[in-house]
A and B are shown apart, each in its own frame.
Chain A
Amino acid sequence: MIVAEQKSFKEIVEYLRGKYDLLIVPCMSCTAVCFAGGVQQGEELASALRIHCKMHGDGLNCTVRPVTRQCDPEFIEELTGEVAQADSILSLACGVGVQFLAERYPDKAVIPALNTSFAGGKTAPGIWEERCSLCGNCVLHVTGGICPITRCAKGLLNGPCGGSEQGRCEIDPNLPCAWQLIINRMNGLGRLEELLAFQCPKDWSTGNAGGLRRLVREDLRLK
């Protein structure tokens, strides 16, 4: 899922200067699951903004209206009525949701309440970790199911750099060396020698270096 983190309250207040009727739109998908942009976080933010405004005498009307998935036009279409009443939208979705709202409601100011962090998952309650760089060209079959592009600080494809020490990454002793993990896994699978195979330079054109990516499935398109 997409993991996100709320921006600081101060930053959000700054972006809302001069706004009067705010529609706060939580997203009930990824950002709700990582406790950054769900209904509860939307309500908390609305309360905090109201308290702040009451204390500072600013007139800001906050309405909270969650959406099942902000990255889906069908769901954000449901907002049309509420959006008409607002002069600005505070989105608690990832960067995708914010942009979909901005595209659908071009005459409204759409403001992100979150920083979109990474594609990852929960490793323990309260801890999320990145797992995928969305490179568009998966190599997990050769690396024992551990992604070196994402989990190695240098994205190395041919083994660990010289900074791997006791299974830790040189840039942060709290991070495991991805290549140590890969070697352990492949060793366990009895496939260590496979790592001797040369991995040729990666084709990054399927990643974000190739510009905006678009996926077309003819079987699903409306004819």
Chain B
Amino acid sequence: MSGGSRLRQVLESGAFAVTCEIGPPKGALVNTLREKARLVRDYVHAANVTDCQTAVVHLSSIAAAVHLQSEGVEAVAQMTCRDRNRIAIQSDLLGAYSLGIGNLLCLTGDHQRFGNHPQAKNVFDLDSIQLVDMVRGMQDEGLFQCGEPIRAGAPQFFLGAVANPFADPFEFRVLRLEKKVNAGARFIQTQSVFDLERFRRFMEMVRARGLHHRCYILPGVSPVRSIRAVEYIRDRVPGLTIPDQIVERMRAATDPAREGVEIALELIAGLREIEGVAGVHIMAIAWEQVIPELVQRAGLGSKL
């Protein structure tokens, strides 16, 4: 038995947590993955490793998490419902925990239509909320989903889920977050925040239902380095919008990468002021190199 979560300790201590996202490689070579791990090691409390994000085949999240941890970076393994049924998910989670992974993020998963195997048959045996509930049941009650006891050691993950405050219907987003918290999610990482105003309104509703006392909320921040990246996110990523003001700033910038960092810093500063925000989750898509600078300049300091 292994596992354990420093991320949990950080959040429970009341410190402002920093997590980031690292995409596993589209192949079996892990030197770049390990390089990225070394790059962020002293700047984040934990790093998420995605589970075939956008339904494109990548090295598995659990394997990548093990590589990260061997480089001294605490990993947050991700598990989606798209590719595995409840049997495979439980089995893989036992495996992940046995390999020392202590944090787990549960997601529904992007539809295969977006990926490189659109002909695939999806699974979606469970949805993300059922997945959270199943893992909570394994941990708290020591039961497999079917109700049979786990006799050879139940996992104990620090259990998380995601929220997208920018998808519709807006009013239901908080109810859905509440369902995830009720199901057992202890921390929530959100979709990238570009629209602070909308996120503030979301957090108002979160606080009105007292959810910020029941889970740790880590809004996502994505530094963008070109106007093309901004337009791609605005136009192509479902359930995500970017205010015109940010688009304009990126378009007018002589050094868009610098401007992208400045915008991200402003967003982080804005997010820190919101009651109920427990940390940030930096998703620097294919731009992990910027994470150390971002963390230092945001005054989040190096690792505790």
Contacts and interface: CB of A to CB of B under 8 A. Distances in A.
Interface string B150-177: 0000000000001110011100100110
Given A164-B239, A200-B130, 16 more contacts: A157-B130, A158-B127, A158-B179, A159-B179, A160-B172, A162-B167, A163-B110, A165-B167, A170-B238, A170-B239, A171-B113, A171-B114, A179-B172, A198-B179, A200-B133, A202-B125
Interface stretch (A123-131, A135-143, A148-156): A148-156
Given A166-B168, A183-B172, A201 B239 contact: no
B111 A201 contact: no
A200 B137 CA distance: 12
A160 B124 contact: no
A51 interface: no
B179 A154 contact: no
Which of A160, A161, A200 is packed against the most chain B CB atoms within 10 Å? Answer: A161
A162 B86 contact: no
Across chains A and B, which 5 residue pairs bring their CB atoms closest together, nearest first?
A: A162-B164, A170-B238, A163-B238, A158-B129, A156-B127
A167 interface: yes
Contacts of B168: 160, 164-167, 177, 180
A159 B238 contact: no
Given A154-B108, A180-B168, A201-B134, A160 B238 contact: no
Contact of B169 (A154, A156, A180, A202): A180
B136 to A, nearest CB: 11
B89 to A, nearest CB: 11
B130 A162 contact: no
Given A154-B111, A183-B172, A196-B178, A201 B167 contact: no
Contacts of A15: none
Give the size category of B's interface with A. Answer: 35 or more
Nearest to B177: A159
B287 to A, nearest CB: 22
Given A171-B113, A183-B169, A158 B176 contact: yes
Contacts of A183: 169, 172
Interface in A159-195: 159-167, 170-172, 177, 179-180, 183-184, 192, 195
B127 A154 contact: yes
A159 B176 contact: yes
B174 to A, nearest CB: 10
A204 interface: yes
A124 B263 CA distance: 48
Which of A160, A166, A183, A200 is packed against the most chain B CB atoms within 10 Å? Answer: A160
A160 B163 CA distance: 11
A198 B239 contact: no
Which of B111, B122, B168 is packed against the most chain A CB atoms within 10 Å? Answer: B168
Interface residues of A, number: 32
Interface string B87-110: 000000000000000000000111
A162 B129 contact: no
Nearest to A186: B172
Contacts of B56: none
A161 B108 contact: yes
27 contacts: A154-B109, A154-B111, A154-B122, A154-B124, A155-B127, A156-B108, A156-B127, A157-B127, A159-B129, A159-B172, A160-B168, A161-B167, A161-B239, A162-B163, A164-B169, A165-B238, A165-B239, A166-B168, A167-B169, A170-B238, A171-B113, A183-B172, A184-B169, A192-B175, A198-B133, A199-B130, A201-B134
B60 interface: no
A160 to B, nearest CB: 7
Contact of A198 (B108, B129, B164, B238): B129
B49 to A, nearest CB: 19
Nearest to A166: B168
Given A154-B111, A158-B179, A163-B111, A195 B162 contact: no
B126 interface: yes
B113 to A, nearest CB: 4
A177 B127 CA distance: 16
Contacts of B111: 153-154, 163, 170-171
Contact of A204 (B108, B113, B125, B162): B125
Contacts of B134: 201
A141 B191 CA distance: 32
A122 to B, nearest CB: 26
A202 B176 CA distance: 18
